[in-house]
Amino acid sequence: MKSLITLARIEGRLVWKGMDIVLFGICFPVLLASLFGYLLSRDASSGASNFQLSFAAVTTIGVLATGVMGLPLTIADYRHRQILKRFQVTPVSPVYLVMAQALVQLSAALVSFTAVVTVYHVFFDFRLPGSWPVFLLTYGLVTLAMYSLGMLIGGLAPNQKAANLWSTLAYFTMLLFSGATIPYEVMPRWVQWLMDVLPLAHGIHLLKHAIMGEPWGQGGLHAAVLIGCILIGAGGTAKFFKWR
């Protein structure tokens, strides 16, 4: 545990020196929260529920940026530079290094979440109709699913170039077509069918159920998809992760 904490501190200093995690993981969600809050909270025609539902979408952007983009790219970079290989001959397992990096990325996602909540609550008087504990548990499930997929991408990518391609494709596809930036409800029905293929779309649906205080049973399919992503991501990573 001491080794993990030490590595997390070192990794944190390295990650937070870069601007990618700040721009994509924190600034972009905050900017979008400000935009949605300004437009939807003041537009009576949009309905109060659309403003509330937009909260679910924006909170996932930090998770998407850190879990599907930041984490796999860092793992691939460490493999490319043979850092993971070198750790295999030290008393500290390379598993600790990967775990430390995941914790650092998670800390950025939590900062993003806190910033979005602050913007919605302080500037636009956001109130959650449902239960905060249920919403936070749902948010944790979505986070675990996205990080599992990110670990799978980082673990299976044969090289840094492939990891960059795969993570970029996954990130922008889910960013644009899962309802995170463009509201799911305004899309034509045939586009919604395509969006429902993406794991993050199911996560956002489930978060919307939690926001409105609806029973989890109504989001059973969405929860099952997320749990499936966790099982596939964790199982695939454990079996096929490439250390060198």
CA distances in angstroms from 12 to 106, 119, 189, 199, 215, listed in the order given? 11, 25, 43, 28, 38
What six digits make up the tokens of 160?
């840094």
H-helix segments, the chain: 2-17, 20-22, 28-40, 48-64, 71-80, 83-87, 94-118, 124, 132-156, 160-177, 189-195, 199-211, 220-240
**For 144-161, how does the pLDDT look when each residue is reduced to its tens digit (9 = 90+)?**
999 999 999 988 888 888
Q: Which pLDDT belongs to residue 236?
A: 87
Rounded mean pLDDT for each run of 10 residues along the chain, 244 residues in total: 74 75 88 88 60 90 93 86 74 75 90 94 88 94 95 87 92 92 84 90 93 78 93 87 73
- What distance in Å separates the CA atoms of residue 34 and residue 127, rounded to the nearest whole number? 16
**For 6-59, how does the pLDDT look when each residue is reduced to its tens digit (9 = 90+)?**
777 777 777 777 777 888 888 999 999 999 888 877 664 444 478 888 899 999
Do residues 97 and 14 lie in contact, with contact meaning Cβ atoms separated by under 8 Å?
A: no
- What distance in Å separates the CA atoms of residue 244 and residue 155, rounded to the nearest whole number? 10
Domain of 163 in residue numbering reads as 2-240
The number of distinct structural domains making up the chain is: 1
CA distances in angstroms from 172 to 71, 219, 234, 236, listed in the order given? 15, 25, 22, 23
- What distance in Å separates the CA atoms of residue 99 and residue 11, rounded to the nearest whole number? 10
Q: What's the length of the chain?
A: 244
Q: Which pLDDT belongs to residue 92?
A: 66
3-class SS of residue 183: coil
- What distance in Å separates the CA atoms of residue 155 and residue 159, rounded to the nearest whole number? 10
